């Protein structure tokens, strides 16, 4: 076979695999859109029960409690306890786990925990807890994609399948396929790959088509105002965007504070849920708009500027309620609450500026705040801007949003970090700031590269016997081990050559040579070996101290190059 034939065969194989992966992406798009539609309709049904129920309210002094809210949040708390016991849940899984799984294959998504977490988010949202829906849908999309891959034995990379599920979830949730594609690459995969683009794009487009033509979900964001001239909005937007960056930091720190507070208190799950439920009932009695997803209130904020006092109440109430719900046992996303918090912050700032143009500056700042805070929280500025573009179909509003997102992102990323999810991973000892290669170097254990190409020595050997053994194997170093195989020390040929031939080797042993434990990461091993001079480094068991093998500097270099090649293959 000549070169031209080989090239043609490779091209045909690539084309076939691309179409096949795109077809699988379409399947994921259909199934995820069905799940998203069910999620939205179920939550909306219970939300309607809460708002339009005939059950009378209970008044106690100045407090008027909605008995439907009390009933729903109590049922949700009980359901959460049942799910925790049924699935043996230690912690709920969300977008942070999706991001981590997309960056490595050693710790894939736990399918059981993914399902349990989605059900917990659904239950929490139905019970009027102040949580979001998009984060759980993103993780569920990724979980579902991987489950299908394993069931159907689809020969696709896991990170591409995860990207398909994520893109479909965002596309279906916002009816924004372009934003879904960008979100999958920007926030989850964090690289653009030609091989991944086709299936991810197909998944997002199919999900959007299903939402539009089959389920006919309403547009979650419709504007009735016209955008103000960009020149007039420039200064107010820039000044407000700086504040939006600090608002995002406040929101994320509040989430972290209540999560850590619950850990410090170490309360049983039922007590934590009781506290969160009580807060939902009490805050809902005064500010019912902060309950649940808040989609309807968000639309009202964008189209009907609220009073300053009401906007401040929404802002403070949503931050507190979301933090207490997510920190004390309920589960859900942070994207929807971030949109709400940003919109209420924008409404507050909008009251400080008086528009003299034909456009509505208040709406522009509300929209800019919504997008800016959400972009900072989830770490997806471009995707958030495209969500605004696809939902509003307004180029002018999108430009204003883009300006605000860029400015706020600079503030938030430099003070807090890339996103709330990245901080969650850092809290678990996982740092993605150095990229895939650093993560894989950290995950890979040196024990996997240990070889048995070494000479051992025991106490009964003489110097001459050990020298003969080294010559036969063409080595310059030997390792002294006990009768039970425990590592004792190292001997070098230089030590042996200067010793009497009949002398015992016991007195020549270096008992403190450079050694590596089997569970030491490849990254740490390279760092330790950076100043090493010698033939090889012993690798010992971390638990027993037995000598498992040795690695050379060449082994370390080969392992490093192998990982770099793996990363290049993933990102091609």
**CATH number of the domain encompassing residue 473:** 3.10.580.10
Q: Are residues 485 and 556 in the same domain?
A: yes
Q: Are residues 133 and 242 in the same domain?
A: no
Q: Are residues 485 and 390 in the same domain?
A: no
Tokens read off for 397: 């509003």
Distance CA 303, CA 440 (A): 48
Residues 6+ apart with CB under 8 A from 420: 252, 255, 334, 377, 378, 379
Query: pLDDT, tens digit, for every residue of 364-381?
Result: 999 999 999 999 999 999
The answer to the question of residue 205 being in a domain is yes
User: So what's the pLDDT on residue 355?
Assistant: 47
* Last residue in a domain, options 215, 250, 276: 215
* Last residue in a domain, options 373, 408, 435: 435
Q: Are residues 73 and 208 in the same domain?
A: yes
Q: Are residues 465 and 429 in the same domain?
A: no
User: So what's the pLDDT on residue 251?
Assistant: 97
Distance CA 128, CA 76 (A): 9
Q: Are residues 236 and 205 in the same domain?
A: no
Tokens read off for 11: 């091209």
User: So what's the pLDDT on residue 164?
Assistant: 95
Beta bridge partners of 516: 539
Q: Are residues 341 and 485 in the same domain?
A: no
For tokens 């106490």, name the residue: 459
Q: Are residues 18 and 53 in the same domain?
A: yes
Closest CA to 394 of 548, 507, 532, 233: 233
The answer to the question of residue 150 being in a domain is yes
- Angle (nearest 5°) at CA 361 between 250 and 226: 125
Say if residues 328 and 272 touch (Cβ distance below 8 Å). yes
> CA dihedral in degrees (411, 412, 418, 424; nearest 10)?
160
User: So what's the pLDDT on residue 343?
Assistant: 94
The answer to the question of residue 404 being in a domain is yes
Specify the number of domains making up the chain: 3
The answer to the question of residue 460 being in a domain is yes
Query: How many helices (H) and strands (E) in the chain?
Result: 22, 8
pTM exceeding the 0.75 threshold for the entire prediction: yes
Residues 6+ apart with CB under 8 A from 356: 232
User: So what's the pLDDT on residue 10?
Assistant: 39
The answer to the question of residue 38 being in a domain is yes
Q: Are residues 59 and 179 in the same domain?
A: yes
Q: In what order do the strands lie in the sheet with 477-481?
A: 455-457, 477-481, 487-492
Q: Are residues 79 and 199 in the same domain?
A: yes
> How confident is the prediction along the chain (572 residues), in pLDDT tens digits per residue?
555 544 454 345 567 777 888 999 999 999 999 988 898 889 888 887 766 555 555 566 556 677 888 889 999 999 999 999 999 998 999 999 999 999 888 788 999 999 999 999 999 999 999 999 889 999 999 999 999 998 888 888 889 999 999 999 999 988 899 999 999 999 999 888 777 899 999 999 999 999 888 877 666 666 777 778 888 888 899 999 999 999 999 999 999 999 999 999 999 999 999 999 999 999 988 898 999 888 888 888 888 888 889 999 999 999 999 999 999 999 999 999 999 999 999 999 988 775 444 447 888 999 999 999 999 999 999 999 999 998 888 888 999 999 999 999 999 999 999 899 999 999 988 888 877 888 888 888 999 899 988 998 877 788 888 888 889 889 989 999 888 889 999 988 888 888 888 888 888 888 889 999 999 999 999 999 888 888 999 999 988 889 999 999 889 999 898 888 888 777 76
The answer to the question of residue 222 being in a domain is no
User: So what's the pLDDT on residue 62?
Assistant: 59
Q: Are residues 169 and 67 in the same domain?
A: yes
* Last residue in a domain, options 435, 468, 485: 435
Ramachandran quadrant class, 402 (left: phi over 0; alpha: psi -120 to 50; beta: rest): alpha
The answer to the question of residue 386 being in a domain is yes
Q: Are residues 202 and 286 in the same domain?
A: no
Helix ranges, 175-306 (H): 177-183, 194-210, 230-265, 269-286, 295-303
- CATH number, domain containing residue 39: 1.10.3080.10
Per the structure, the complete domain to which residue 347 belongs is given by 230-435
For tokens 């000044």, name the residue: 239
The answer to the question of residue 76 being in a domain is yes
Ramachandran quadrant class, 457 (left: phi over 0; alpha: psi -120 to 50; beta: rest): beta
Tokens read off for 267: 């309360």
């Amino acid at each position: 076979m000549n070169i031209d034939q080989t090239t043609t065969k490779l091209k045909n194989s690539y084309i076939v695999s691309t179409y096949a992966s795109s077809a699988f992406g379409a399947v994921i798009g259909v199934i995820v859109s069905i799940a998203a539609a069910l999620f939205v309709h179920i939550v909306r049904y219970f939300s309607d029960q809460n708002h339009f129920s005939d059950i009378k309210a209970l008044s106690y002094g100045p407090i008027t409690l909605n008995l439907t809210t009390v009933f729903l949040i109590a049922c949700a708390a009980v359901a959460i306890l049942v799910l925790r016991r049924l699935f043996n849940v230690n912690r709920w899984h969300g977008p942070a786990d999706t991001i981590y799984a997309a960056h490595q294959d050693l710790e894939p998504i736990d399918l059981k925990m993914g399902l349990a977490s989605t059900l917990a988010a659904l239950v929490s949202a139905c019970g009027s807890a102040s949580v979001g829906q998009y984060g759980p849908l993103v993780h569920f999309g990724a979980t579902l994609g991987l489950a299908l891959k394993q069931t159907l034995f689809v020969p696709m990379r896991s990170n591409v399948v995860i990207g398909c599920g994520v893109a479909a979830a965002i596309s279906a949730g916002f009816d924004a396929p372009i934003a879904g594609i960008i979100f999958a690459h920007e926030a989850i995969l964090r690289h653009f790959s030609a091989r991944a683009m086709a299936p991810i794009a197909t998944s997002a487009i199919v999900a959007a088509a299903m939402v539009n033509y089959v389920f006919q979900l309403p547009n979650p964001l419709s504007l009735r105002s016209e955008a103000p001239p960009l020149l007039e909005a420039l200064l107010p937007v820039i000044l407000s965007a700086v504040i939006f960056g600090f608002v995002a930091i406040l929101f994320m720190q509040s989430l972290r504070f209540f999560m850590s507070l619950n850990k410090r208190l170490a309360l049983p799950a039922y007590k934590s849920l009781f506290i969160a439920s009580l807060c939902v009932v009490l805050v809902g009695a005064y500010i019912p708009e902060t309950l649940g997803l808040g989609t309807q209130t968000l639309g009202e904020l964008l189209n009907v500027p609220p009073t300053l006092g009401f906007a401040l109440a929404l802002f403070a109430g949503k931050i507190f309620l979301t933090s207490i719900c997510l920190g004390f046992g309920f589960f859900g996303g942070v994207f929807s609450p971030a949109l709400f918090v940003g919109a209420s912050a924008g409404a507050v700032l909008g009251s400080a500026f008086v528009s003299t143009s034909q456009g509505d500056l208040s709406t522009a700042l509300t929209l800019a705040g919504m997008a800016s805070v959400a972009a900072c929280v989830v770490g997806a500025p471009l995707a958030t801007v495209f969500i605004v573009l696809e939902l509003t179909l307004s180029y002018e509003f999108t430009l204003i949003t883009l300006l605000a997102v860029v400015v706020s992102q600079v503030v938030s990323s430099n003070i807090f970090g890339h996103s709330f999810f990245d901080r969650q991973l850092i809290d678990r000892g996982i740092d993605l700031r150095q990229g895939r290669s650093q993560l894989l170097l950290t995950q890979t254990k040196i024990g996997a590269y240990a070889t048995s190409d070494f000479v051992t020595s025991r106490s009964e050997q003489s110097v001459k016997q050990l020298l003969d053994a080294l010559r036969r194997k063409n080595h310059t170093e030997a390792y002294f081990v006990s009768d039970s195989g425990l590592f004792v020390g190292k001997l070098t040929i230089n030590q042996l050559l200067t010793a009497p031939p009949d002398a015992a080797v016991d007195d020549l042993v270096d008992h403190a040579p450079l050694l590596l434990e089997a569970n030491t990461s490849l990254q740490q091993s390279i760092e330790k070996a950076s100043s090493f001079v010698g033939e090889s480094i012993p690798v010992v068991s971390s638990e027993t101290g037995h000598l498992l093998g040795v690695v050379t500097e060449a082994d370390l270099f080969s392992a490093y190059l192998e990982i770099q090649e793996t990363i290049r293959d993933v990102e091609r």
